[in-house]
Amino acid sequence: MEKIIIFDTTLRDGEQAPGASLNQKEKLEVADALTRLGVDIIEAGFPISSKGDFQAVKAIAKSVKGPVICGLARAIKKDIDAAYQAIKFSLRPRIHVFLATSKIHMKYKLEKAEDEILRLAVSCVKYAKKYCSDVEFSPEDASRSEREFLFKVIEAVIDAGATTVNIPDTVGYAEPQEFGSLIKEIKENIPNIHKAIISVHCHNDLGLAVANSLEATKFGARQVECTINGIGERAGNASLEEIVMALDTRKDIFGNLKTDIKKNQIYKTSRLVSKLTGFVIAPNKAIVGTNAFRHEAGIHQDGILKERSTYEIIKPEDVGFYGVGLVLGKHSGRHAFNERLKTFGFHLTTQQLDKAFVRFKQLADKKKNIFDDDLMAIVEDEIRTTVKPLWQLDSFEVNSGTQITPTATVRLKKKGKILATSSGGDGPVDACFKAIDKITNIKVKLQDYRLEAVTSGKDALGKVSLKLDAKGKTASGRGSSTDIIESSVRAYLDAINKLESKR
C-alpha cells in the first residue's frame, strides 16, 4: 500500500472563510480532534497575520503531539521568522512558504518579473531551511502558471531544500484531466522531483476540488491538502472526508493508495467544526450530511431492507454516523447518561457532567423523546463554553402576535445581581436582543443568524448560530433549546460574553 499524506488546513485556509473565525481555545479543540482523526499534518495558521493567530499556532505546537505542525509564510523573511517562532515548540515543525508564479499574479499583485520571483523563491526556501529541515513551497496559482516557468521554479526550490512542493489550484480554475496532466508533466519534466513529495491544494470554485485532488493522486501526488467539511475561502477547499472515503471506497480505481485517517472519527470531527464555525452542513453534503444515509423513496427503502449495498456504498458506522436512535428519557440516571456520552467520545469532568446532566433533565421535562443528536447539542452547549460567562440568562418573557408590537422582558444575571428591562422589536427574537443590548450597554450589529432543527418532530431542539459585530470586533455565538426564542437568546449571550472577554 502507498500512503497519501493528509495535510489538513482547516485551521488556516478553512478559518479564512468569512464568518469562520475561531479563538485560541476553539482552535486547540479542533487541533485535538484532527489528531484523533489521524491527519498527518495540521496547518495551524498564518502566524504573521495577527497576534492572536501567532499565539494560537504556538499553543497548538506546544500541546499537540503526533502530527506535523505547519505554519504558513509568504516569501518574506519576517513571515518566515514569525512562522518558526510559533511552530518551533512542535516535535515535528514545518514551514510552508508560498509565492505566486502565474503571470496575472506576478503582474497585478506582486509587480515582479520572472527572474525576481525565481530568486525570491530560492532565497526564502534557503532561509526557512536554516530554521527547520521540513520546508514546503507552494507556487501560488500554479494551475494558471506558464508551464516552463513553473517547472523552473519547482526545480530551483527543490535544489534549495524544499522537501514538499505543493501545486495549488488557487482559484479553482482547473478541471480534472487538465490538472492530472499538470502533475504528470511535473513528474516527467523536473529532473530532481524525486527528492520532494508532490502535494496538491485545490479550491472548489467550479465544484471540482475533490475531483482534481483525486485525479492528481493517480499521477503521483502523494500529499493532499484539504479541510473538514470543505470549508475555506470563497466556495471552499477540497473536502477531507470526501477524499478519504473516495480512496477507501474505490480501491478498484485508486489501487494501493491509502490514508491513515480513522474513519469512525469523521462524523464527530465534522460536527465539531460545524459547531465551532457556525457553518451549517447541508443535509445533502456527501459523507457527513444528515441525509447521506437516509432513504425516503419506497424503492430505495425496499432495496435497503433486502440488501444495504443496493443503495449504500458506505456503511454509516464506518464514518461514525450514529443516526438519531432513541436513547434516554426523563427517568434515566446520571450513570446511564454519562455512559451514553462516552460512546460519542465525550469524557466529562465531574463539574462538566453535573452541568450537562442538569440541562438533560430540563430537556427531558420538555421533550418526550430524547435522541442522540439532542444529547450532543446540549452537552456541546455546556462543555464547549470558550469564556467564563459574564452575563447569564435568568429568565425572559415575550408578548407577540399579528395585531400587536412584540415586546420582551429579559432578566440577566451578572456577578450575582439581577438586571432586567423590556423592549419592543420587529418580532419576539428581535425584542429580546434589543432588551439584552439595553442591559449590557454594548452596541452590536447582527451580521448573521441561522436556525436549524437538531432532530425531527415538533418538539425538536432548535440550534441557533449567529455572529455579532461591535466596532470591528466580531464574535460568534451558539445556543440550543426546544424554544427557538431561548435558543436565540442563549446564542446572543454567548456572543456578547465573547465580545466582553475581548474588551
Cell of 378: 446540549
Question: Which residue bears the cell 444528515?
Answer: 290
Rounded CA-CA distance 203/156 in Å is: 26
- Note the pLDDT of residue 80: 98
Residues 6+ positions from 71 with CB-CB distance below 8 Å: 43, 44, 45, 46, 47, 57, 82, 83, 84, 86, 87, 93, 94, 95, 96
Q: Shortest CA distance to 216 belongs to which of 174, 249, 256?
A: 174
Q: Kindly tell me the burial class for residue 290, based on how many C-beta atoms sit within 10 Å of its own C-beta (0-12, 13-18, 19 or more).
A: buried
Residues β-bridged to residue 414: 417
Residues 6+ positions from 133 with CB-CB distance below 8 Å: 163
Q: Is 66 left (phi over 0), alpha (psi -120 to 50) or beta?
A: left
pLDDT in tens, 186-201: 999 999 999 999 999 9
- Note the pLDDT of residue 387: 54
Report the CATH number of the 2-277 domain.
3.20.20.70
The predicted model gives 487-494 an average pLDDT of 95
Q: Kindly tell me the burial class for residue 331, based on how many C-beta atoms sit within 10 Å of its own C-beta (0-12, 13-18, 19 or more).
A: exposed
- Which top CATH class is 392-502? alpha beta
Cell of 487: 435558543
Helical (H) or strand (E) element with 25: helix 24-37
Which residue would you say has higher pLDDT here, 121 or 300?
121
Q: Shortest CA distance to 234 belongs to which of 211, 215, 206?
A: 206
pLDDT in tens, 341-377: 877 767 788 888 888 888 888 888 887 777 777 887 7
pLDDT in tens, 394-453: 999 999 999 999 999 999 999 999 999 999 999 999 999 999 999 999 999 999 898 988
Q: Shortest CA distance to 87 belongs to which of 46, 32, 33?
A: 46
Domain boundaries, the chain: 2-277, 291-320, 322-383, 392-502
Cell of 308: 444495504
